[in-house]
Amino acid sequence: MAITASLDGDYLRLTDGAGDGLAVWRIADLRLVLDRGTRGVVLCAVGQPDARLTLGDPVVLAKLRVLSPGFGGSIRPKRQVGRGMLYGIGALFGLALLFAVILPRLAAAMATLVPRSYELRLGHDLLPVVAARFGGRYQEGDSGTCSGVDGQAAIDRLAARLSAARATRIPITVHVVDTRVVNAFALPGGQVVVLRGLLDFASGPTEFAGVLGHEMGHSQFAHPLQHVVEASFISLTIGLMMGDVLGVSAAGMVVQSLLTTAYSREAETAADRESLERLQAAGIGSVPFMEFTKRLTTGAAMPAILSTHPAPADRVRAMADHVRPGAQAMTPEEWESVRHICDKPKPAA
Ligand SMILES: [Zn+2]
């Protein structure tokens, strides 16, 4: 683009070919980037480190050299790079501070403002997206979850027993999705998704009850809702930074984040503690849940559940003082029906 530079008192006025004003730079603010002698100069202005002006007009240039000998000093390319990096590091540090420190606190505060009805609808809407993500038998209009009637009834009874044992923030609904992946998630709105692989990995119903109690703990403390608020903000920020707000699938990013991002160690410990208290209040033994968690820390084949529920050895140690013996969570027959909850193919729509 051809730019015309003209002198106007203490200012250099820049206009485009049509005569429209582009910028006005104070002559005192000009700095020399590159001097090509008779072929002109490359200038920038203080406070606008990224804008460059290549000036070749000998008349304007001669006047400028008089008004501002040496253009207030030169800026060498090397210093430019250094300064650019400094801005970059500053921006990164700012982002890190925003994402790591400010956002979680903000999200926790904002989550308390989300109306109950909205949270319920959010969980309801996210459920089929999560089921589809695991290649569940998702079809338009159904939730994509396993449909074994006896197994679901046994899970519902266990969830009701655990819910009745201790105050619950929001009613819990449990779904099983048919995939070999070993994991379980709490979604907003009290929706708990158990992946079938976890039912295969659990050595019995009481281990499963501990996992369910753990997810109920996340739900109790609104961790999933906070996570969604945070992830929405991050996806929006990244979208804005990339200049691509509409191109980013916000729901997809939020779900992806919910399914792959680990909770903090504090959140995990709080969910564990809540599970142990709930099991004990329901008269269910909590030693198996500790054993289950211990197997996660030592077993090599559990990447999925560890990626979202980190299980360092100190999580197990923290449990050790609080586990109590108690009853089994289900009868063997109930557990058998739970383990086969995905067997029956869903009736064709
Ligand atoms: Zn967890």
Confidence tier at 181 by pLDDT (50, 70, 90): confident
Nearest CA-CA partner of 86 in 133, 39, 115, 49 = 49
Q: Which pLDDT value is given to residue 211?
A: 96
Q: How far is the CA of 220 from the centre of ligand 1 (A)?
A: 12
Q: How far is the CA of 216 from the centre of ligand 1 (A)?
A: 9
More confident residue, 169 or 17: 169
- 94: tokens are 């700012």
Whether 170 contacts 190, CB under 8 Å = yes
Rounded CA-CA distance 277/275 in Å is 5
Q: What is the mean pLDDT of residues 14-29?
A: 74
Burial of 42 (0-12, 13-18, 19+ CB in 10 A): middle
Domain assignments of the chain as residue spans, ordered by start = 3-75, 116-339
Please state whether the predicted TM-score (pTM) of the whole model is above 0.75.
no
Q: Which pLDDT value is given to residue 300?
A: 60
Q: How far is the CA of 215 from the centre of ligand 1 (A)?
A: 6
More confident residue, 75 or 267: 267
Q: How far is the CA of 223 from the centre of ligand 1 (A)?
A: 9
Q: Which amino acid is at 310?
A: P
Q: How far is the CA of 242 from the centre of ligand 1 (A)?
A: 32
φ/ψ of residue 344, rounded to 5: -75, 125
Rounded CA-CA distance 179/175 in Å is 12
Burial call 178-199: b when 16+ CB within 10 Å, e when fewer: bbeebbbbbbbbbbbbbbbbbb
φ/ψ of residue 249, rounded to 5: -80, 100
Rounded CA-CA distance 273/268 in Å is 9
Q: How far is the CA of 175 from the centre of ligand 1 (A)?
A: 17
Q: Which pLDDT value is given to residue 262?
A: 80
Q: Over the stretch 253-296, which tens digit does the pLDDT of each residue have?
A: 777 777 777 888 889 999 999 999 999 999 999 999 999 988 88
Nearest CA-CA partner of 45 in 63, 60, 27 = 27
More confident residue, 214 or 94: 214
Q: Which pLDDT value is given to residue 62?
A: 74
Query: Residues of the chain with pLDDT > 90: what percent?
Result: 37
More confident residue, 194 or 264: 194
Q: How far is the CA of 270 from the centre of ligand 1 (A)?
A: 9
Q: How far is the CA of 266 from the centre of ligand 1 (A)?
A: 10
Q: How far is the CA of 179 from the centre of ligand 1 (A)?
A: 19
Q: Over the stretch 116-147, which tens digit does the pLDDT of each residue have?
A: 999 999 999 888 888 888 876 655 556 678 98
Q: How far is the CA of 141 from the centre of ligand 1 (A)?
A: 29
Q: How far is the CA of 302 from the centre of ligand 1 (A)?
A: 14
Q: Which of 224-238, 277-291, 332-346 has the lowest mean pLDDT?
A: 224-238
Q: How far is the CA of 271 from the centre of ligand 1 (A)?
A: 6
Burial call 7-29: b when 16+ CB within 10 Å, e when fewer: eeeeebebbeeeeeeeeebebeb
Q: Which fold has domain 3-75?
A: PH-domain like (2.30.29)
Q: How far is the CA of 318 from the centre of ligand 1 (A)?
A: 14
Three-state DSSP state, 106: helix
Nearest CA-CA partner of 181 in 131, 130, 134 = 134
Q: Has residue 195 got a pLDDT over 80?
A: yes
Q: Has residue 8 got a pLDDT over 90?
A: no
Q: Which pLDDT value is given to residue 79?
A: 47
- 122: tokens are 């959010």
Q: How far is the CA of 181 from the centre of ligand 1 (A)?
A: 16
Q: Over the stretch 33-59, which tens digit does the pLDDT of each residue have?
A: 777 776 777 777 777 666 777 777 777
Strands of the 41-45 sheet, one edge to the other = 30-35, 41-45, 48-55
Q: How far is the CA of 195 from the centre of ligand 1 (A)?
A: 14
Q: How far is the CA of 208 from the centre of ligand 1 (A)?
A: 13
Rounded CA-CA distance 296/36 in Å is 67
Q: How far is the CA of 285 from the centre of ligand 1 (A)?
A: 19
Neighbours of ion ligand 1 (CB under 5 A): 268, 271, 309
Q: How far is the CA of 263 from the centre of ligand 1 (A)?
A: 6
Classify residue 100 by its DSSP letter: I
